[in-house]
């Protein structure tokens, strides 16, 4: 009986190891957009976190932003942002007007407004 239990434990252990190795060999499938963009250590600077579930949160340098995003090839489209409505003097709240974005060759996230004009960029976060 003890040998059977030992053998069962070994088989189950090997199955877990094999599953872990196979999972590591498969790509994560994570979008290059997922992650933090901008400087989150300075609340007066715009930043954005794009989550793998399609949610987006961040700040425009004044107000908190909450919304959604969807990848379409090399571009993402934002589903619009809900935000707080604080009045902050001297802060350019351009990020709250984001419509689409794409990663540039320099690795920054270029953000575009409704008219298709670039309204700003965010460096990859740390």
Q: What is the CB neighbour count within 10 angstroms for residue 87?
A: 7
Q: Does a structural domain hold residue 90?
A: yes
Q: Does a structural domain hold residue 6?
A: no
CATH of the domain at 65: 2.40.128.270
Q: Does a structural domain hold residue 89?
A: yes
Q: Does a structural domain hold residue 41?
A: yes
- Confirm if 101 and 112 have CB atoms less than 8 A apart: yes
pLDDT along the chain (126 residues), means of 10: 51 37 44 95 93 96 96 94 89 93 97 96 90
Q: In Å, how far are 16, 26, 81, 122 from 46, measured between CA atoms?
A: 43, 34, 14, 8
- Confirm if 33 and 69 have CB atoms less than 8 A apart: yes
Give CA–CA dist 116/101, Å, rounded: 10
Q: In Å, how far are 15, 79, 90, 92 from 61, measured between CA atoms?
A: 49, 20, 10, 7
Q: Does a structural domain hold residue 28?
A: no
Q: Does a structural domain hold residue 64?
A: yes
Structural domains counted in the chain: 1
CA-closest candidate to residue 50, choices 87, 25, 75 = 75
Confidence at residue 43, expressed as pLDDT on a 0 to 100 scale: 85
Q: Does a structural domain hold residue 21?
A: no
Parent domain of 65: 35-122
- Whether the pTM exceeds 0.85: the reply is no
């Amino acid at each position: 009986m003890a040998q059977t239990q030992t053998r069962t434990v070994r088989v189950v252990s090997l199955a877990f190891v094999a599953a872990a190795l196979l999972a590591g060999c498969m790509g994560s499938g994570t979008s290059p957009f997922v992650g933090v963009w901008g400087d989150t250590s300075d609340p007066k600077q715009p930043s954005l976190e794009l989550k793998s579930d399609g949610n987006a949160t961040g700040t425009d340098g004044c107000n908190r932003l909450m919304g959604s995003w969807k990848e379409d090839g090399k571009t993402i489209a934002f589903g619009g942002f809900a935000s707080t409505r604080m009045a902050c003097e001297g802060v350019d709240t351009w990020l709250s007007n984001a419509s689409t974005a794409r990663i540039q060759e320099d690795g920054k996230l270029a953000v575009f407004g409704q008219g298709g004009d670039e309204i700003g960029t965010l460096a990859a976060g740390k």
